[in-house]
Amino acid sequence: MTVCTSGIEAADPDVLIDVHDVTFEYPAVQGSRVRALESVSLRIMRGEYLAIIGPNGSGKSTLAKCLNALLIPDSGTVTVAGMSTSNPGHVWAIRQMVGMVFQNPDNQLVATTVEEDVAFGPENIGVPTQEIRQRVKEALRSVGLEGMENRAPHRLSGGQKQRVAIAGILAMRPECIVLDEPTAMLDPVGRREVLEAVRRLNRVEGKTVVHVTHFMSEAAAADRVAVMAAGKVVMQGAPSEVFSQAERLQQIDLDAPIGARIAEELRKSGISIPLHVLTVDDLADYISANALTAHRPSANRATELSTNTATARRSDVYRH
């Protein structure tokens, strides 16, 4: 990587965010400082859907906040499209490019109508009124809330509120959206709505997505998963690569998604199930398409499999 005189690095154009050897400490309340990130290096590619998982306190939120200059590393660098977050002159442009969505939608909604709420960001940066109206319309359409401009945000469901928050970020036309546990406070219906909206933004609109989550089944749907433990990125790769390493995950107190764990047990008993089967839905689809006809197990075996899957499907909803 070469450094130009402008201070903007000429880097791989496919890399949107380059986190290089970042260390971050919070000031101590009493006694020693808390080292939240230690030598973290991670590249986020343009257009990818990256999930970040890890136990509580492993540094996920701290890393997320470093991606759009809400936090600045003590050492190492975070560069967004070649601009360093440590350079105050770049912060404005970086925040336009990388938007953040947090866990609690109630803390992110500021206005009395959905339209005013989504318009808040563009108004603050002086976008002309006519264009704001257009942006609000587009942003609401993108998250499946078309025509809800005049609704009161506080009367919406959790999933709708979180989608209004996402629309507010979209109205700023970012290239990347960082979501820090956006479904943690939602019921299963709200979770599904938000996930579908986020996946659509990535797949259809080409937004780069960084999704911090403690739901393993959500991470399974990403292009790539980075695993954090004790302030470090300890594993990264395709979901099938990461989730097939059950023992390493258990060492840091994480479990593979329940579908992957059942698939692993089935493999041990001689039923070959591909590694890309990770969620309970994947497993149900795979079994109904292949396993029962391919292996033609006894009627009892077939009943056992479908009962396990149904139980797993329920526990996936209720456990998380």
26 binds ligand ADP (CB under 6 A): yes
57 binds ligand ADP (CB under 6 A): yes
What string marks each residue from 133 to 162 as x (binds ligand ADP by CB under 6 A) or -? ------------------------------
What DSSP string describes 4-34? -TTS-EE--TTEEEEEEEEEEEEPPSSSS-E
Sites for ligand ADP among residues 243-282 (CB under 6 A):
none
Quote the longest CA-to-CA distance of the chain. Answer: 72
Which of 59, 99, 121, 259 binds ligand ADP (CB under 6 A)? It is: 59
Query: Which of Mg ion, ligand ADP, none sits in contact with 34, Cβ below 5 to 8 A by type?
Result: ligand ADP
CB 45 within 8 A of CB 15: yes
36 binds ligand ADP (CB under 6 A): yes
Nearest to 181 by CA among 88, 63, 297, 52: 52
Torsion angle of C-alpha atoms 73, 74, 77, 79, degrees rounded to 10: 30
Which of 61, 79, 108, 217 binds Mg ion (CB under 5 A)? It is: 61
Nearest to 143 by CA among 164, 171, 122, 158: 164
What DSSP string describes 280-291? HHHHHHHIIIII
Least distance from C-beta 101 to ligand ADP, angstroms? 14
Which of 43, 60, 161, 224 binds ligand ADP (CB under 6 A)? It is: 60
Query: Which of ligand ADP, Mg ion, none sits in contact with 57, Cβ below 5 to 8 A by type?
Result: ligand ADP
61 binds ligand ADP (CB under 6 A): yes
Stretch that binds ligand ADP, among 49-57, 69-77, 188-196, 250-258 (CB under 6 A): 49-57
Stretch that binds Mg ion, among 53-61, 225-233, 269-277, 279-287 (CB under 5 A): 53-61
Alpha-carbon span 220 to 258, nearest angstrom:
11
Stretch that binds ligand ADP, among 59-67, 135-143, 165-173, 246-254 (CB under 6 A): 59-67
Alpha-carbon span 171 to 169, nearest angstrom:
5
Least distance from C-beta 243 to ligand ADP, angstroms? 19
Half-sphere exposure of 32 (CA within 13 A, CB side): 3
Least distance from C-beta 62 to ligand ADP, angstroms? 3
Query: Which of Mg ion, ligand ADP, none sits in contact with 298, Cβ below 5 to 8 A by type?
Result: none
The nearer residue to ligand ADP, 52 or 156, going by C-beta atoms, is: 52
- Sole residue written with tokens 């859907």: 49
Half-sphere exposure of 5 (CA within 13 A, CB side): 0
Alpha-carbon span 297 to 292, nearest angstrom:
7
Footprint of ligand ADP (CB under 6 A): 26, 34, 36, 54, 56-62
Footprint of Mg ion (CB under 5 A): 60-61
